[in-house]
């Protein structure tokens, strides 16, 4: 497979059972084959996307000392600002060539989870940044819910199987700024090869070259979405839960050609996480004599903690 398949969420949401089933078949096959799809028909409108990019650029254009006010110690970068070069891919010493921000869950009616999650950080200088970030978070979370409903049906589960686990889930919206490259990077790229930790990732800003996905032959292919598409991939939690039936694919963001070093790149992934108590034990429907159980039992919270240690974001 050398291209990323494209699907339209409106087919799944339609009243036509054939269209709905075709969407389930197409997205299921894509996630078994390459682990990525480009999705149209989502819940983000053009105006919201335009306003979000404007606010994200406004934030990253703030002076460094202003941004660093919002870097909160002791929470593993789970909310607020993470400065340039702080995060590295699993097994890699060099920090990625990026800075980013984290919006987290806006918990409803659950004091326990409200106490468990770090609080969202408000940027005093840019009130619209906070409001538009929250609105985008909600629309991406809604889009992700229906993608997971389609995948539940593909895995022979009840359609709303994931709903209870993602409601108030520990999801993260991460606006990323890859600044202009000013000198030859020493072994560092904008984002080194990695798999995502979570259930699924919804990525805005994959319109230009940069994002690459590794297919089963080990070849790197460009993953370029149309302006109205989100790139959506399977994360390690869902891969593990499905006994690797759905593939969490290694991907990276490569440095641009030298003539484009002077340009910034922005991308905005939404990492869909469940509540930390969700059991990621391998689903019975994904085990058979040809595919024995490949993973030990673990909760989403335990798995996330392991991975944050590996990424250098929290200390043991």
Q: Which residues pair with 103 in a beta bridge?
A: 173
pLDDT of residue 217: 83
pLDDT tens for each residue of 161-214: 999 999 999 999 999 998 877 666 666 555 667 889 999 999 987 556 778 998
**Residue 66 pLDDT more than 90?**
yes
pLDDT of residue 165: 97
Give how far Cα 117 sits from Cα of 76, 107, 174, 301, 312, Å. Answer: 12, 9, 16, 11, 19
Give the residue, 217 or 288, on which the prediction is more confident: 288
CA torsion sign for 233, 308, 118, 164 is positive
Interval 109-127 mean pLDDT: 94
Q: Supply the DSSP string of 6-40, one letter for each residue.
A: EEEHHHHHSS-HHHHHHHHHHHHHHHHHTSEEEEE
Band (18; pLDDT cuts 50, 70, 90): very high
Please give the domain boundaries of the chain with CATH numbers for all domains. 6-310 (2.60.120.330)
pLDDT of residue 138: 97
Continuous segment of H or E residues that includes residue 308: helix 300-310
């Amino acid at each position: 497979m050398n291209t990323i398949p494209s699907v339209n969420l409106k087919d799944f949401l339609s009243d036509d059972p054939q269209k709905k089933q075709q969407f389930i078949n197409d997205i299921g096959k894509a996630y078994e084959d390459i682990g990525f799809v480009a999705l149209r028909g989502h819940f983000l409108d053009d105006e919201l996307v335009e306003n979000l990019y404007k606010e994200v650029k406004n934030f990253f254009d703030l002076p460094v000392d202003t941004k660093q006010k919002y870097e909160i110690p002791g929470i593993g970068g789970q909310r607020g600002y993470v400065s340039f070069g702080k995060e590295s891919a699993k097994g890699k010493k060099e920090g990625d060539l990026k800075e980013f921000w984290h919006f987290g869950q806006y918990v409803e009616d659950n004091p326990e989870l409200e106490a468990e999650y770090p609080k969202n950080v408000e940027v005093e200088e840019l009130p619209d940044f906070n409001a538009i970030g929250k609105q985008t978070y909600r629309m991406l979370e809604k889009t992700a819910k229906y993608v997971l409903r389609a995948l539940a049906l593909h895995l022979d589960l009840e359609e709303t199987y994931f709903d209870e686990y993602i409601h108030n889930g520990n999801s993260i919206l991460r606006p990323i700024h890859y600044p202009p490259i000013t000198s030859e990077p020493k072994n560092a790229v904008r984002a080194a090869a990695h798999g995502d930790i979570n259930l699924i990732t919804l990525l805005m800003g994959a319109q230009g070259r940069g994002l690459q996905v590794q297919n089963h032959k080990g070849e790197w292919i460009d993953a370029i979405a149309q302006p109205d598409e989100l790139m959506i991939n399977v994360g390690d939690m869902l891969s593990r839960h499905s006994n690797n039936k759905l593939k969490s694919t290694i991907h990276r963001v490569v440095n641009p050609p030298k003539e484009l070093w002077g340009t910034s790149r922005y991308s905005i992934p939404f990492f869909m996480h469940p509540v930390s108590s969700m059991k990621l034990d391998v689903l019975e429907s994904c085990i058979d004599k040809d595919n024995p159980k490949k993973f030990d039992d673990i909760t989403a919270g335990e798995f996330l903690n392991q991975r944050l240690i590996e990424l250098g974001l929290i200390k043991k």
